[in-house]
């Protein structure tokens, strides 16, 4: 019993001597409220997925986003299902190891989305704009896609993002 109390005292002493996290320790790139930092990675507060920077260059204008990285089969299957909010500068990226014809549906997704299909050259192939929430109808890429980007419904049109625009990102 004495050992347990000694061990507890040591643990409490160690905890109380640990430095407090510095203000802004998550980094300036952490713009999403509640995001967590693990090592060099920022994790989304809702999905727990890695968050990366992504830019779309359209007609000379650069549009920056912080996107969740759906880089596992489980994350890709879930996508933005059950999510009720998506900020103007947020999205989700679905990268693929092998380019192919991609199709997406809106099952269990209460938000309207713009589903943006990205070709092997990093250019947008097509945009399925303002998809219908909960729809089981598939939307498809117009060619071989190496990634898919989901943004809030209507956002692509607001920013003038369409076929031919360049998408830039770096996978961790």
Q: What is each CA distance from 119 to 10, 41, 55, 104, 146, in whole angstroms? A: 57, 26, 15, 15, 5
7 belongs to a structural domain: no
pLDDT digits (tens, 9 = 90+) for 108-163: 999 999 999 999 999 999 999 999 999 999 999 999 999 999 999 999 999 999 99
CATH number of the structural domain spanning residue 145:
2.60.120.1140
145 belongs to a structural domain: yes
Q: Could you tell me the pTM of the whole model?
A: 0.79
- Given the structure tokens 């430095």, which residue do they identify? 19
6 belongs to a structural domain: no
Residue 136 near residue 104 (C-beta atoms within 8 A):
no
User: In which domain, by residue range, is 127 found?
Assistant: 28-169
pLDDT digits (tens, 9 = 90+) for 39-66: 678 999 999 999 999 999 999 999 999 9
Total domain count, the chain: 1
Distance between CA 6 and CA 23 in Å, rounded?
Answer: 33
């Amino acid at each position: 019993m004495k050992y347990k109390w000694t061990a507890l005292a040591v643990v409490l002493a160690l905890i109380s001597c640990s430095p407090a996290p510095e203000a802004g320790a998550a980094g300036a790139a952490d713009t999403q409220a509640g995001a967590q930092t693990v090592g060099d990675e920022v994790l989304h507060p809702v999905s727990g997925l890695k968050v990366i920077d992504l830019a779309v260059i359209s007609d000379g204008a650069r549009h920056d986003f912080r996107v969740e990285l759906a880089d596992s089969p489980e994350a890709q299957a879930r996508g933005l299902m059950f999510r009720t909010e998506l900020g103007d500068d947020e999205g989700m990226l679905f990268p693929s190891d092998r380019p192919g014809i991609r199709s997406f549906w809106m099952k269990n997704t209460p938000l309207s989305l713009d589903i943006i299909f990205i070709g092997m050259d990093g250019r947008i192939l097509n945009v399925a704009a303002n998809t219908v929430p909960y729809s089981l109808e598939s939307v498809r890429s117009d060619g071989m896609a190496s990634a898919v980007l989901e943004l809030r419904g209507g956002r692509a049109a607001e920013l003038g993002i369409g076929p031919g625009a360049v998408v830039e990102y770096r996978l961790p």
